[in-house]
Structure 1
Amino acid sequence: MRLLLLARVHLGAVAVLLLLTLSACLLVSGLPRVMQAAFDQALRESLATAPAQHADLTAVLRSNGGDQDLREPALFQVQDERLRTLVPAPLNGLLAPAGHASAKTYNTPVYASGGRTFVNLGWLSDGDRRVDWVEGRAPREVSQMRWRGTTIPLFEVGVVGEARDRMGLGLGETKILGESDYAAIKIVGIFRAKDAADRYWSHNGDILNVRQVQQTGKLDLEWYTTALIPDAALTRLSGDDRNLSYQWVLPIDHRSAGALDVPGYDAAVDEFERLMRLQPGVYAGSTLSTGLPTLLGEFRTALATAQTIMFLVLGGLLVVSLGVIVLAVRLLTERMDHGLTLTRARGGSLPQVAGAAAGLTGLAVAPGALAGYALSYLFPGPMLPLVHLGPVVVVGTAVAFAAARVAVTHRAPLHERRDDVVAARPSARRITLEVLVIGLALAGAYLLRTRGLTTQVAQDGQDPFLLLVPLALTLAAALITMRCYPYPLRLLVRLTARTRPAVPFLGLTRAARARSFSVLPVLILLPALGVSVFASVISSGVAGTQGLAAWQSVGAPVKITSERELPADVVERVRQVPGVTRVVPAQTATVQVGHTAERAEIIAVDLARWRELLTGTPISLPSVPAASSGIPALVSQELHGRGTFEIGWQSRLRITTQGVIPALPGFFTEGKFIVVPFDVNQRPVVNTLLISGDAQETALARVVPQGRVESRAGALAAIQHDPLTSTVSGTLLVVTVALAGYALVAVVITLVIGAADRAKALSFLRTLGLSDRQAERLTVLEILPMIVVTALAGLALGLGLPAALGPGVDLSAYAGGLPVGDYELDLVTPTALAAGLAVVAVLGAYAHTAISRRRSLGAVLRVGDLT
C-alpha cells in the first residue's frame, strides 16, 4: 500500500495524531530537563547560602611541635597543592582555584585574668588583602623581651575594633599570654574587614569577632578573640610552646555543582578523608572538618520528595498522553478498516495489512516525535536518559498498538463482527485477576499508611513501593469504574422505560450497550482527573502551610528587632510611618534562672495587645491569667514544674508559672523560654516592635537603621521562591493544565470514533420522526453518563491519594519546615475539569447533530444497507 496516499485520504486523523505526539514528546522530554535544572539550581543555592565553614573542605592539623611546625608561608602553599591532588572525582571538580591557609593558637589565656580572657594568635595566608588598618599599623616583626628573669617572644599583633572596645585591648598595650609557656603581645594596630559579608570570614570569625562563652557550671563569662600576627611570627610559633593548629581551606565553587552528582560527592568526601590520613609527614594525625555531608543530606531529603512528586505526576501525564495517542491511533485504524478488509478479501496477508497500519501510524507520529524532541532542546537543563527515551516510548507504543489492533481485527478475512451486542460475560480468570489487582492496591495503601517506606529515600533513592501504590490505586479505580459503570445505567434504563419520552430511554440504552472502545476513555479520563485533583490538593495544602509557616516565623505582619534599646522617640517615629496601624513593643533578653548558671530566653510583651494585632491571622496566642503571688509567666516544657522561682534580669524577679506553651510564634520553637507581662521591669528596655499594617520594609529600615526588619510577606516570598518549591508548584500547574487538555481531547476523539455509528442510528430514528433537538439530547445522554461516572471516580481518587500516600511524601521542605497533612477539600479545580468535560461533550453532541442534519438520509441508509 502507498502510505502517502493513505495519509492524504485520512489527513484529519493523521494530523490529530501528529499534534498529540508532538505535545506528548515535548512534555515528556522538556519537563524532566526543566526539573533537573531546577534541582541543580537548588543545590547551588543551598551551597551558596550555607556558611562557608560548613560547605568548604578544611584540613586541620594540630601541631605537636618538631617536624610538624611550618615556619614559612611557602610551606603552606606546598601542602595546599598536595591536598588538592588527593581530592577524588567528582569532588575535585567543585573546588575553587583559590583557597587559603592559617595558623592559630587556641585556648591561650591572658596572664592573671583568672581564666576569663583569652587572646589567641592567628596568621592568615592572605590576611593583608582581607583587612584595612583603621588605627596604628600592620604588625611586621617578632622580637624578645625580658619578663620575670626570662626571655620570652614579643609578637606585634593587630586586633579588631570590637576587641578594643569590649575587652580593653587598647592600641600600644602589651599583654602577657600563657600560664606556663609565656609570650607577650604588643598591640600595634586596629583593623576591620574590607568585606565583612565575604564568605571567607566564616572560617575566621574568631579573628573578626569577640566571642562570649559561659562554661557549664560557671557563672562568669569567658571572652575570646584572635589577634593577627605577621609572616615573620611563624618562625617563633611552635606546637612545643602552646596549643597550635594549622588549617588549609579548600573552597567549594557552588556554580559547578549538579544534583545528579550528589551521591558521588558524599563518597568522595569519605575517600578524601581516608586518603588524607594515609599520607606521611605533615598530614599524620590531621582531620577533615566540613559540614558538606550534612548539607548534602538535607538537600537529598528535600530532593527525594520533589522527585517522588515529579515521578507521580509525570508518570500520570505519560500514561494519559499514551492513552490519548492510542485513542487517536484507534480512530486512524478504524478509518482504514474498510480498505484493509478489502485487502484481506483480495488475498492480502496479515503482515501486509498490519504493516500498512503500523507504517501509516509511524508516518504520522515520527515527525511529531522528532519535532517535540527537537523543541525540548529549547528548555534549560541537562540531557537526561528520559529525554531520549520518552519519544521512543511514545512512537513505539503508537506503532505497536496500531499493528496489534489491525492484526487482531483482521486475523481472518471477512470476519463478521456484531457491534450491537452487549459485551460478553467476563471469564472467571479475568474476574480473579481484577479482584487481585484491587486487593493488592488496597493492601499497598494500607501498608504505606501504617508502616511508611521500606527504605530511607534520601540515602537509597526512590522506594518502588511508593511509586507503585498510586499506579495500583489508579488501575483499581479504573477497573471498579468499568465494572460498575453499566449497573446504574441499567437501573436508569428501567426507570426511563416507564416514562413517555423516548429520548432518555434511547440515549441511556445506547450508553449501556456501547461498544468496548466507548469505555476505554475511562482509562484515560480517570487518571487524568485523578492526577489533576491530586496536584490541586497538594498545591493547595503546600500553599496553605507556607502561609502558616510565614506567620509563625515572624509572629506579626512586620517585626523589628534590635540588639540595642529602641528609644521612645524612635518608637514614635515608627508609629508615624505610612501604613503602620498598630505597634506593640516588647523586651527580649537572656536571663539567669535562679542563682545558678542556667540561662533562659525571655520576652516581656502585652499578650492581649499582641492578640488584637493578630486578629484574622492563622496563628493564635495564649492568655496569661493573673498570679496570686509573683509575676505570672508562661514557660516552655523544659522549665515546666518549677512553680514559683526567681530570675535574674535587670533585677531579681519572682515569677509564677501559669501555663506551659510549646512555642511562641516569631520567637521560640524549642529550648528554655519564658513569657511575662510587658511591665515587669521598672524601666522597660524596648528592643522589639510588633507592627501591623502595610508599611514598606524600606521605610521602616530607614527609621530604625540599627534594627532588623522582618515581614510576613518577605518570609512567605523566601519560602515560595526556593528553587525546589517553585519547581514543584510550577510542574504541578503545567501537568494539571496538560492533563485537563488531554482529558478534553479524549472526549472529542471518543465522539469522533463513534460518529459513523451514531449518525446511522440517528438517521434511522429521524425517519421515525426524531427531531433535531431530540437528536441533540439523545447524543448528550449517550456521552454524559461515562463522563459523570469517570469524573466522580477521578475526583474520589485524587482526593484520596494524598491521604493514601500519607507519610510517604513529606512536603515540609517546601512549606517552611511545617508538616503538610491537613489537606482542605478544594472542589474548584475538580468542578472546573468536570464542567469542561461536560461542556465539550455537549458541544460535540451539538456539532455532530448539526453535521448529521446536512447529510442525506438516503445516502446514510444505503451505506447502512451495504454493511
Structure 2
Amino acid sequence: AAGAITAAATATALACAALPLRAAAVHRTVRIHGGRGDVTSVRPSRRRTVAELTLVVVALGAVETLRRRGASSDQLTSLAPVLVGVAAALLLVRVYPFPLRGLARPAARLRGAVGHLSLARAGRTSASAVLPLLALLTALTTAAFGGSVLAGVRDARDQAALLTVGADARIEQTSAMAPDLPDRIRRSPGVRALTAVSISYRAMPTDLTRTVPLAGVNPAQYAQLTARTGIGAFDAHDLTGGGHGDALPALASRTTAKTYGTRPFPVRLEDGTTITVRITAVRDRTPAVAGDNFLVVDRAALKGPAARPTALLLTGAHLDGPALRRAAPASADVQLRSEERASYADSPLQTGAERVYTAAVAAGAGYAVLALLLSLLRTIPERTALLARLRTMGLTRTQGRRLLILESLPQAVLAAAGGALTGWATIRLLSPGIDLTTIALASRQGPAGDAVLRTDALSLAVPAAAIVLVTVGVAGIQAWWTGRRGAVAELRAGDAR
C-alpha cells in the first residue's frame, strides 16, 4: 500500500510540476518580444506535414481511380479536381518563401529602397497571411476545370455538326439538280464557296453483294473544301493521277480500302453503268459522305446521270437559312451546320449539366476574387500606417503606390501562375477518365467525334489575369486614398489606437 501511494504521489507531483518547469525554462532568457512568424523563417510543424501528405495521397488516389474507372457517382472521384487544387496549393505555400529569398538578394543591390523594401515586407508577412493562397488556388483550379469542360462540349458539338453536314450548309436532293441551281445558290447571302458533288449511295463494287457510297467531285474544289473544314484533307493530285490503265484514282475510307485493297476493281453505279477504280488515297472521313465507308472519284470521268450534281456543299460565315431554302427546290433537303449544332443541346440533362459547370466557373472566379480582396483589406490599416510613417521620411506618393503594388505582386503572381499550372495539370490528369459525349450529344446520336476534355487557354488565362489585375488595382486605389489623407492625421489615429 505504501508503494502504491508513493507512486501515485510521485506521478501527481510530476504532472503538476511539468508545466511550470517548462514555462520557467522557456522564459529563462529575457526577451523584448517574441519571434516573428514570417513565411521565410517559420518551419511547418510535423502535424501539418502529416496532414498535407495525407491529403496529397488522397488526391492521388482519387485521380488514379478516376483515370481507371471513369467519371461515376463516387464522391471521391467527383472531388478529384478540388483535391488536386488543394494539394497543389499546399505545395505552393511550401515553395512560396524560396523565390522571395532569391529575389531579395539582387533587389538589395538596386538603386532605391522601394524594390528591396517591398520584397522584404512580402517576406515578413505573417505565416497565416499565405492561407488565402489555398482559397485562390482551389478557386482558380475549379474555374479552369469548369471552363475547359464547357469549351470541350462546344468543340464536340461543333465537330459533330460539321461531320453530319460536311460543310457550313448542305443542299441535297435524290435526283439530279437543275443546271442553274449552283449559280442561284452561289448568289445567296453569306455563301463564300460552293462545291458540287454527285453522290451514288447504292454503288456496288466487285461481287455486287454490298453497297458503298460513291461521290463524284471536282478534285481541286473538293480538296479546298476538305482543307477548309479539316475533314479528310487530301491533295487534288490523288484523284487526277496515279491511275492504273483504265482505272480511276479513288479516295476511300479505311474500311473500304481494307476490304478491296489497292488493285483495280469494278464498281456498278445506280444508273447501271460500270466504272473501274483503284484506291490511291485513304482517309478516315470525307465531307460529301457521312460514315466510315465511301469512295470519292473525279466527277469528270463519270458519264450520264452519274456525273450530274446531286448535292451542294457550302461554306460561309453567316449563311441565311431561309434564303437558301427559298433558292433551293422544294424537293431538296437543306441542312445548316448551326441548326444541326443547336439540335444537340435540347435535353434537360445537357442544359442542367452546362448550368452546373457555368455556376462552378462563376463561383470559382468570384470566390478567388473575394479571397484576394479579404486578404488585402485585412492589411489596410497596417499599410496605411506604414505609408504615413514613410511619408514623414520623404517617401513620395508615386513611390508609395509602387511600394504597395510590388508588395502585393509576389503572392498574386504566385497564385495566378500556380492556378494556371494547376488547372492545366488537373485537366491533363483527369481527361482520360472523363468523356464529354453524354453532355455534348446526349439528345441524339451524332457522328463519332473526339468529345474529350481538353485544356482551354482562356479558362486558364482569364481568371489568372483577373487575380493580378485586382491585386494591382486594389493596391493602387489604397495608395491613392492614403495619399489624400494627411500623414499627421493618420499617425495621430494610430497613436490613439
| Fold conserved between structures, TM > 0.5 | yes
Matches of 1:851 and 1:697 in 2, distance apart?
A: 57
Equivalent residue for 2:174?
Answer: 563
Equivalent residue for 1:676?
Answer: 297
1:638-668 CA deviation, whole Å, 9 max, x = no partner? Answer: 4325322223222233322323333323523
Equivalent residue for 1:663?
Answer: 285
Matches of 1:565 and 1:727 in 2, distance apart?
A: 44
> Which residue of 220, 232, 249 maps to 1:632?
249
For residues 683 and 758 of structure 1, do their structure 2 counterparts lie closer, same or farther at Cα, with a shift above 3 Å needed?
Answer: same
1:660 partner letter: V
The CA deviation at 1:847 is 3.4
Matches of 1:764 and 1:420 in 2, distance apart?
A: 21
Matches of 1:780 and 1:551 in 2, distance apart?
A: 48
Q: Show the 5 A alignment for 1:748-827.
A: 748-813=373-438, 814=440, 816=446, 817-821=448-452, 823=454, 826=457
Matches of 1:595 and 1:831 in 2, distance apart?
A: 58
Partners of 2:167 and 2:229 within 8 A in 1: no
For residues 771 and 674 of structure 1, do their structure 2 counterparts lie closer, same or farther at Cα, with a shift above 3 Å needed?
Answer: closer
Q: Show the 5 A alignment for 1:287-298.
A: none
The CA deviation at 1:554 is 1.2
Equivalent residue for 1:840?
Answer: 470
- Percent of matched pairs sharing the same residue: 29
Partners of 2:173 and 2:333 within 8 A in 1: yes
Partners of 1:448 and 1:806 within 8 A in 2: no
Q: Per residue, is there more strand in 1 or in 2?
A: 1
Q: What's the secondary structure of 1:616's corresponding residue?
A: helix
Equivalent residue for 2:314?
Answer: 691
1:731-770 CA deviation, whole Å, 9 max, x = no partner? Answer: 5444434433332232222222112222333333333333
Equivalent residue for 1:425?
Answer: 43
User: Which of 1 and 2 has greater Rg?
Assistant: 1
Equivalent residue for 1:584?
Answer: 196
1:663 partner letter: R
Matches of 1:705 and 1:494 in 2, distance apart?
A: 79
Q: What's the secondary structure of 1:528's corresponding residue?
A: helix
Matched, 1:654 2:276: yes
1:484 partner letter: V
Equivalent residue for 2:265?
Answer: 645
Equivalent residue for 2:330?
Answer: 705
For residues 491 and 756 of structure 1, do their structure 2 counterparts lie closer, same or farther at Cα, with a shift above 3 Å needed?
Answer: same
The CA deviation at 1:474 is 1.0
The CA deviation at 1:446 is 4.8
Equivalent residue for 1:593?
Answer: 205
TM-score when scaled to structure 1?
Answer: 0.47
Q: What's the secondary structure of 1:590's corresponding residue?
A: coil
Partners of 1:578 and 1:695 within 8 A in 2: yes
Q: Show the 5 A alignment for 1:604-619.
A: 604-619=216-231
For residues 578 and 498 of structure 1, do their structure 2 counterparts lie closer, same or farther at Cα, with a shift above 3 Å needed?
Answer: closer
1:422-444 CA deviation, whole Å, 9 max, x = no partner? Answer: 26322233223323433443454
1:700 partner letter: L
The CA deviation at 1:810 is 0.6
1:515-541 CA deviation, whole Å, 9 max, x = no partner? Answer: 233212112211222222223333333
Q: Show the 5 A alignment for 1:297-696.
A: 420-422=36-38, 424-442=42-60, 444-446=62-64, 448-449=66-67, 451-453=68-70, 462-571=73-182, 573-575=184-186, 577=188, 580=191, 581-622=193-234, 623-624=238-239, 625-629=241-245, 630-639=247-256, 640=258, 642=260, 643-649=263-269, 650-670=272-292, 672-685=293-306, 686=308, 687-693=310-316, 696=320
Matches of 1:753 and 1:584 in 2, distance apart?
A: 68
Partners of 2:144 and 2:423 within 8 A in 1: yes
For residues 559 and 632 of structure 1, do their structure 2 counterparts lie closer, same or farther at Cα, with a shift above 3 Å needed?
Answer: same
For residues 491 and 667 of structure 1, do their structure 2 counterparts lie closer, same or farther at Cα, with a shift above 3 Å needed?
Answer: same
For residues 446 and 857 of structure 1, do their structure 2 counterparts lie closer, same or farther at Cα, with a shift above 3 Å needed?
Answer: same
Q: What's the secondary structure of 1:657's corresponding residue?
A: strand
For residues 562 and 419 of structure 1, do their structure 2 counterparts lie closer, same or farther at Cα, with a shift above 3 Å needed?
Answer: farther
Partners of 1:529 and 1:740 within 8 A in 2: yes
Partners of 1:584 and 1:689 within 8 A in 2: yes
1:538 partner letter: V
For residues 508 and 805 of structure 1, do their structure 2 counterparts lie closer, same or farther at Cα, with a shift above 3 Å needed?
Answer: same
Matches of 1:724 and 1:607 in 2, distance apart?
A: 43
Matches of 1:850 and 1:576 in 2, distance apart?
A: 60
Matched, 1:716 2:341: yes
The CA deviation at 1:851 is 4.3
1:811 partner letter: L
Matches of 1:575 and 1:515 in 2, distance apart?
A: 69
The CA deviation at 1:583 is 4.0
1:158-192 CA deviation, whole Å, 9 max, x = no partner? Answer: xxxxxxxxxxxxxxxxxxxxxxxxxxxxxxxxxxx
Q: What's the secondary structure of 1:559's corresponding residue?
A: strand
The CA deviation at 1:507 is 1.7
For residues 584 and 763 of structure 1, do their structure 2 counterparts lie closer, same or farther at Cα, with a shift above 3 Å needed?
Answer: same
Structure 1, gaps ≥5 residues long: 1-415
Partners of 1:448 and 1:804 within 8 A in 2: no
1:108-166 CA deviation, whole Å, 9 max, x = no partner? Answer: xxxxxxxxxxxxxxxxxxxxxxxxxxxxxxxxxxxxxxxxxxxxxxxxxxxxxxxxxxx
The CA deviation at 1:627 is 1.2
Structure 2, gaps ≥5 residues long: 1-31
Matches of 1:521 and 1:710 in 2, distance apart?
A: 52
Matches of 1:571 and 1:846 in 2, distance apart?
A: 62
1:336-370 CA deviation, whole Å, 9 max, x = no partner? Answer: xxxxxxxxxxxxxxxxxxxxxxxxxxxxxxxxxxx
1:450-470 CA deviation, whole Å, 9 max, x = no partner? Answer: x343xxx6xxx5133421322
Partners of 2:420 and 2:464 within 8 A in 1: no
For residues 582 and 486 of structure 1, do their structure 2 counterparts lie closer, same or farther at Cα, with a shift above 3 Å needed?
Answer: same
2:297 partner letter: V
1:566 partner letter: M
Matches of 1:577 and 1:849 in 2, distance apart?
A: 59
The CA deviation at 1:724 is 4.5
Equivalent residue for 2:16?
Answer: none
The CA deviation at 1:787 is 0.6
1:67-122 CA deviation, whole Å, 9 max, x = no partner? Answer: xxxxxxxxxxxxxxxxxxxxxxxxxxxxxxxxxxxxxxxxxxxxxxxxxxxxxxxx
1:644 partner letter: P
The CA deviation at 1:730 is 4.8
2:142 partner letter: V
Aligned length in residues: 443
The structure with higher relative contact order (CA 8 Å, sep 6+) is 2
The CA deviation at 1:488 is 0.9
The CA deviation at 1:818 is 1.7
2:129 partner letter: S
Q: CA RMSD in A?
A: 3.2
Q: What's the secondary structure of 1:585's corresponding residue?
A: strand
Matches of 2:62 and 2:107 in 1, distance apart?
A: 41
For residues 421 and 859 of structure 1, do their structure 2 counterparts lie closer, same or farther at Cα, with a shift above 3 Å needed?
Answer: farther
Equivalent residue for 1:745?
Answer: 370
Moved more, 753-762 or 856-865: 856-865
Matches of 1:481 and 1:751 in 2, distance apart?
A: 19
1:543 partner letter: R
Matches of 1:547 and 1:585 in 2, distance apart?
A: 23
Matches of 2:480 and 2:319 in 1, distance apart?
A: 60
